[in-house]
Amino acid sequence: MKNNLNLLAATIRRLRSENGCPWDRRQTESSLIPYLREEMEELISAVEHEDYSNMCEELGDLLYLVMMITEINREKGRFDFSTVAESINEKLIRRHPHVFAGKPYENENDLKKQWEKIKAEEKEKSIDTNPS
């Protein structure tokens, strides 16, 4: 999988390069918002209709947009795909202590309460470290 993601990242870098595609080169995070909405709606439709071949295509379209926005930010020195992947991996582990830290839960309701508590703690910590 890593090689495929590296290949996709290289393709997007080439599209945004000096000799790349003019359309891709002029895109910004904001200019991609309508495409994100459109592709998400198409993915939702594919899921609802259990259209797996279309679902795969729509997931690819969304992945392209995620990678494109990541590349735009990499070019500006903000973050890269590795940082994005590391961030979500850490969040998934943090929010699933019943899986990764052996913290038991009684039932689904207890699990949901634990999830919400963790999210609230993250939000509070974010506010504390990013004062306005």
Q: Is the pLDDT of residue 124 over 80?
A: yes
Angle at 59 between CA 14 and CA 44, to 5 degrees: 140
**Which CATH architecture describes the domain 2-80?**
Orthogonal Bundle (1.10)
Q: State pTM to two decimals.
A: 0.85
C-alpha dihedral over 46, 47, 48, 51, to 10 degrees? 50
Q: Which two tokens stand for residue 80?
A: 């890269």
Q: What per-residue confidence (pLDDT) applies to 125?
A: 87
- The pair of structure tokens assigned to 28 is 């910004």
Task: Give the model's confidence band at 106: pLDDT under 50 very low, under 70 low, under 90 confident, else very high.
Answer: confident
Measured distance CA(93)–CA(73) in Å, rounded: 25
Per-residue pLDDT reduced to its tens digit, 50-97: 999 999 999 999 999 999 999 999 999 999 999 999 999 999 999 999
Sorting pLDDT into bands at 50, 70 and 90, what band is 132? low
Q: What is the pLDDT of residue 13?
A: 97
Angle among Cα 37, 39, 42 to the nearest 5 degrees reads 110
What is the 8-class DSSP label of residue 17? Answer: S
Q: What distance in Å separates the CA atoms of residue 28 and residue 25, rounded to the nearest whole number?
A: 9
What are the sequence ranges of the domains in the chain?
2-80, 95-132
